[in-house]
Amino acid sequence: MTQEIAIDELQKIPDRIPVADTRTPAEFTRGHIPGAFNLPLFSNEERVRVGTTYKQQGREAAILLGFDLTGAKWSGFIRTALELAPEKRIAVHCWRGGMRSAAMAWALGLYGFDVYQVKGGYKSYRQWVFRQLKKPYSLLVIGGNTGSGKTKLLHELSTKGGQVVDLEDLAQHQGSSYGSLNRLVQPSQEQFENDLATRLSRLDPNRNIWIEDESRNVGRCLLPQPLWQQMQEAILFDLHVPLDQRVDALVNEYGALDKEFLVECTDRIRKRLGLEQAKQAVQAIREGRMADFIRIALVYYDKTYRKLLDSRSATRIFPIDLTTTEADLNAGLLIKTAQSIVERIDTTNA
């Protein structure tokens, strides 16, 4: 049995069903519904052939070519669907809910699957993504100089029941020139937006959401303008951590990384560090003096953070002095401070 379903309805199904994306591998790689699997009707090259035939010879010729190309594939499609949806309940989509998903839905339905064909396809999903990114959220931003332990604190807030959006995890990047850690692979911009929208959709908009302060770019991923603007206008808690503690934390995080990787990343910000400072930083890396390297780099990153902080409204910035690196204790202090400040602001605005 096959039935159409809107993307909003699909997202609300409590026991999420497998979603089969019938677009090409290239389309899927560029961006897809989080958790979906690729069940491509055509290869990248075949899709081009069908599209060219459609333009030059018309719809019917393209359909015939499509059947020629997929004729021997149908049993494979069904076997793959059975592996990923053993209960024979599945959703399918293509780009606009057209012939590719309709053909797959027909074949799976014929075999006995309960098939949900997504109205409007992936295009309608992207529209859903933009709606999530434009919604208002009650954001609380965690700021502080590099090495202040913001990410660890964010994770601790999550364990304590707080609502959290970890932008660096979604972007697979730590935000600085060294942020790939020589191992992280970033998603495409489109996939970053998809993953971010999915994360936001699963949170209660009536409760506060903790998020780490970031520049507009997290590596190559660009924060969507509506969310970025909300972050700029939100309350920011500026963590003040002693320099020595920050250096120790960063040495633990970056000190074991490949030296050539660190040198390459330092070269990328040579002009911003200053030529002499960059030279000293590279020498410290090569000699294994990681604390010295970190201290040199922090001069630049601290200056950059303060510049970003100056662009915010001072009335929305609240400093918090931290004397320990214990995330559990710091999270408790932050929660208590935030509760007091938010209640005070709500009372003032009432």
Residue 257 has pLDDT above 90, yes or no: yes
What is the C-alpha separation between 176 and 182, in angstroms, rounded? 12
- Where residue 14 falls among pLDDT bands split at 50, 70, 90? low
**CATH no. of 137-349:** 3.40.50.300
**Span 30-58, average pLDDT:** 96
Residue 350 has pLDDT above 70, yes or no: no
pLDDT digits (tens, 9 = 90+) for 212-246: 999 999 999 999 999 999 999 999 999 999 999 99
Active site residues: 94
Closest CA to 17 of 110, 113, 154: 113
Closest CA to 107 of 22, 25, 6: 22
What is the C-alpha separation between 152 and 194, in angstroms, rounded? 24
Count other Cβ atoms within 10 Å, centred on residue 213.
Answer: 22
Percentage of the chain beyond pLDDT 90 is 87
Give the end-to-end CA distance of the chain in Å, rounded to a whole number. Answer: 54
- Average pLDDT in the chain: 94
CATH T-level topology, domain 2-130: Oxidized Rhodanese; domain 1 (3.40.250)
| Annotated domain spans of the chain | 2-130, 137-349
Whole-structure pTM over 0.85, yes or no?
Answer: yes
pLDDT digits (tens, 9 = 90+) for 264-293: 999 999 999 999 999 999 999 999 999 999
